[in-house]
Structure formats: structure tokens, C-alpha cells
Amino acid sequence: MFADRGVNLEEARTMLTKAVDLEPTSGAYQDSLGWVYFRLGEMDRAEKHLIEALRLEPFDGTLREHVGDLFRARGDKAKAAESYRRALGLTLEEAGQKERIEKKLAEVAGAPAP
């Protein structure tokens, strides 16, 4: 929750590092730690954990969105667009998530949002 809100990121990193150490095959923990690193601007570390999370949970739309956000932040619009497209093909659980991803996709693809 800290990572999503962008608060207490150092505390979140400490807790999530321990969680990943205890359960490295948890896609949720890997994603959360990667998202903390993303919020801290540590993109290489973010990528390591987000890609591992995606390997563990390949059908998670939120993970695909996070990976798209990472590629977008790195300026790789083609990879970001692909991640967003794949996310839209998966089950999305968060209210408004589909519209948010469509908007991000439109921005990286250079087209207006539907």
C-alpha cells in the first residue's frame, strides 16, 4: 500500500525485501518490491523484480501495467505499448484500471484514448 501511495517507501522497501527473501516465488511480493524501486527511481532494480513477478504471474493485468509503466519511464514506447495491450487482454480487478491503461496506451502509441 505504501508503494501504491508513494509514501514510506524506505520502510516499504525494508519490509518487502524481507518478504521476498522469505518467499522469492511470490509474484505479489516481487511486484510490490519492484514498484517501490520504481517509485524510488531505481529503474534497474525495479525491472529485475517486475520482470520476475511477471515470470511468476504471467496473466496478472496489474503486473503487465507496471511493466508497461517501467518501459514508458525508460522511454521505450513500443515495449510499453505492448505491455499495455497485453494488460488489456487480461482480467483487471481495479475500478477504472481499464480506462487508465487505455489512456496510457494512447499516450505511448500517439493516438487519442477511446
Q: Locate cell 484500471: which residue?
A: 97
**Model confidence, pTM:** 0.86
> Whole-angstrom Cα distance, residue 102 to residue 51?
21
| 2-59 confidence digits (pLDDT tens) | 555 555 677 788 889 999 999 999 999 999 999 999 989 999 999 999 999 999 999 9
Q: Is the pLDDT of residue 63 over 90?
A: yes
pLDDT tens track for 71-97: 999 999 999 999 999 999 998 888 999
pLDDT at residue 5 in the model? 59
CATH architecture for segment(s) 1-57: Alpha Horseshoe (1.25)
Question: Cβ distance 12 to 3 under 8 Å?
Answer: yes
CATH 1.25.40.10 residue ranges for the chain: 1-57
What is the number of residues in the chain?
114
Written out in words, the top-level CATH class of the domain with range 61-114 is mainly alpha
Q: Give yes or no for residue 1 having a pLDDT over 80.
A: no
- pLDDT value at position 2? 52
Could you tell me which residue, 53 or 113, shows the higher pLDDT?
A: 53
